[in-house]
């Protein structure tokens, strides 16, 4: 089960803020009143050190309130950074190999496609629209979890994918063979090919499994307004818009911009050898 960290942060910030507000409006008054009562009725005749210690105890904040005040600004800053600037993600599957590998930790620009409210995702400020060839994080129409794929089709485009070749608005996308490779699949390593594909001036690597093509009921799609067609760079081993349809604009999360760390599954130390800009 995926954890919605934005929701967790919103809840924690709200709890800490409410406790701080409750203390400022109500609880603090009782502490101050207790100090005044002590000074007027019990402090006389006692040594200064004892009086000071007693007043300090009466005016001391409850531990819960103290923690709430300490954590509130830190949590608020983290929430603002994750919601409106940059959020970290980890790549869980191999659908974007060879561009992104399983275990890559990436940074996602949250304001590239507009400023959105945390958790509910409502856009409050337009910035820019996704462009063909960019790598985008989003919530797919069939599952409430984050996916990452490459933007292939924009609103109004006609996309065709047939015989392992990609066509956008009737024009075949340029592809250059690089090398024969082994492709990691659920059936083990299978022979495949590595290519360099150029979409809208963005050159990136893709890979295919030789002699095997996933059977899909459609080969051509017309992209409706406000929707985007997404595909993984691991073309024969990716669940994407070819299966579950286009992604509505309201479900966009942000643009993937960089790999900042990598950790192989299991008991392995993280490395920074794959640090790179995502293109």
Write out pLDDT tens, residues 140-192.
Answer: 999 989 999 999 999 999 999 998 999 999 999 999 999 999 998 887 889 99
217 CB-near residues (< 8 Å, 6+ apart)? none
Name the burial class of residue 194, with classes exposed (0-12), middle (13-18) and buried (19+) by CB atoms within 10 angstroms of its CB.
middle
Q: What per-residue confidence (pLDDT) applies to 220?
A: 95
Residue 185 shares a structural domain with residue 253: yes
Query: Is residue 1 scored above 50 in pLDDT?
Result: no
> Out of 6, 110, 149, 238, which one is annotated catalytic?
149
Q: Which of 62, 84, 106 is the last residue of a domain?
A: 84
CA distances from 144 to 4, 147, 222, 233 (A): 10, 9, 24, 22
Residue 66 shares a structural domain with residue 161: no
Domains identified in the chain, total number: 2
Q: Under DSSP, is residue 39 helix (H, G, I), strand (E, B) or coil? A: helix
Identify whether 98 is preceded by a cis peptide bond (ω within 30 of 0). yes
pTM of the model: 0.84
Cα separation of 256 and 276, whole Å?
Answer: 11
Residue 52 shares a structural domain with residue 176: no
Residue 157 shares a structural domain with residue 237: yes
Residue 36 shares a structural domain with residue 147: no
Q: Which of 31, 64, 84 is the last residue of a domain?
A: 84
Cα separation of 211 and 24, whole Å?
Answer: 70
Write out pLDDT tens, residues 213-261.
Answer: 666 778 999 999 999 999 999 999 999 999 999 999 999 999 999 999 9
Residue 30 shares a structural domain with residue 95: no
Give residue 65's Cα distance to chain centre: 31
**3: pLDDT confidence band, cut at 50, 70 and 90?**
low
Query: Is residue 45 scored above 80 in pLDDT?
Result: no
Kindly tell me the sign of the dihedral angle through the C-alpha atoms of 275, 146, 237, 133.
Answer: negative
Find the CATH number of the domain harbouring 211: 2.10.109.10
Q: What per-residue confidence (pLDDT) applies to 119?
A: 82
Residue 191 shares a structural domain with residue 273: yes
Strands (E), the chain: 86-90, 104-109, 115-116, 123-125, 135-138, 147-153, 158-162, 165-168, 171-172, 175-185, 188-199, 202-209, 220-222, 227-231, 247-248, 252-262, 276-277
> Out of 83, 95, 238, 241, which one is annotated catalytic?
95
Residue 170 shares a structural domain with residue 117: yes
Residue length of the chain: 279
Domain that holds residue 123: 86-277
Residue 189 shares a structural domain with residue 124: yes
Cα separation of 151 and 137, whole Å?
Answer: 10
Cα separation of 148 and 138, whole Å?
Answer: 6
149 classed as catalytic: yes
Q: Which of 84, 103, 128 is the last residue of a domain?
A: 84
Query: Is residue 118 scored above 50 in pLDDT?
Result: yes
Cα separation of 186 and 6, whole Å?
Answer: 33
Residue 170 shares a structural domain with residue 75: no
Residue 135 shares a structural domain with residue 270: yes
95 classed as catalytic: yes
Cα separation of 141 and 162, whole Å?
Answer: 23
Cα separation of 256 and 116, whole Å?
Answer: 16
What value does the mean pLDDT take over residues 59-85?
A: 91
Give residue 60's Cα distance to chain centre: 40
Residue 195 shares a structural domain with residue 120: yes
Contact 183, 192 (CB under 8 A): yes
Mean pLDDT of the chain: 90
């Amino acid at each position: 089960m995926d954890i919605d960290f934005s929701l967790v942060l919103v809840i924690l910030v709200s709890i800490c803020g409410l406790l701080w507000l409750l203390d400022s409006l109500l609880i603090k008054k009782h502490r101050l009143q207790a100090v005044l009562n002590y000074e007027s009725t019990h402090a006389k005749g006692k040594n200064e050190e004892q009086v000071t210690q007693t007043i300090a105890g009466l005016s001391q904040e409850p531990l819960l309130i103290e923690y709430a005040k300490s954590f509130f600004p830190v949590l608020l800053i983290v929430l603002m950074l994750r919601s409106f600037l940059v959020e970290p993600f980890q790549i869980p599957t191999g659908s974007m190999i060879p561009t992104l590998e399983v275990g890559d930790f990436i940074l996602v620009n949250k304001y590239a496609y507009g400023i959105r409210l945390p958790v509910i995702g409502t856009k409050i400020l337009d910035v820019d629209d996704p462009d063909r060839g960019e790598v985008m994080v989003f919530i797919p129409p069939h599952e409430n979890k984050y996916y990452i794929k490459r933007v292939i089709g924009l609103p109004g485009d006609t996309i065709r994918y047939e015989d392992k070749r990609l066509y956008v608005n009737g024009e075949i996308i340029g592809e250059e063979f690089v090398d024969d490779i082994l492709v990691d699949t659920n059936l083990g390593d299978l022979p495949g090919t590595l290519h360099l594909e150029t979409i809208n001036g963005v050159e990136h690597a893709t890979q295919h499994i030789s002699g095997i093509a996933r059977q899909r009921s459609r080969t051509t799609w017309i992209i409706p307004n406000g929707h985007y067609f997404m595909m993984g760079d691991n073309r024969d081993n990716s669940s994407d818009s070819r299966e579950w349809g286009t992604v509505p604009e309201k479900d966009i999360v942000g643009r993937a911009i960089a790999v900042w760390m990598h950790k192989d599954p299991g008991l392995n130390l993280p490395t920074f050898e794959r640090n790179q800009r995502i293109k």
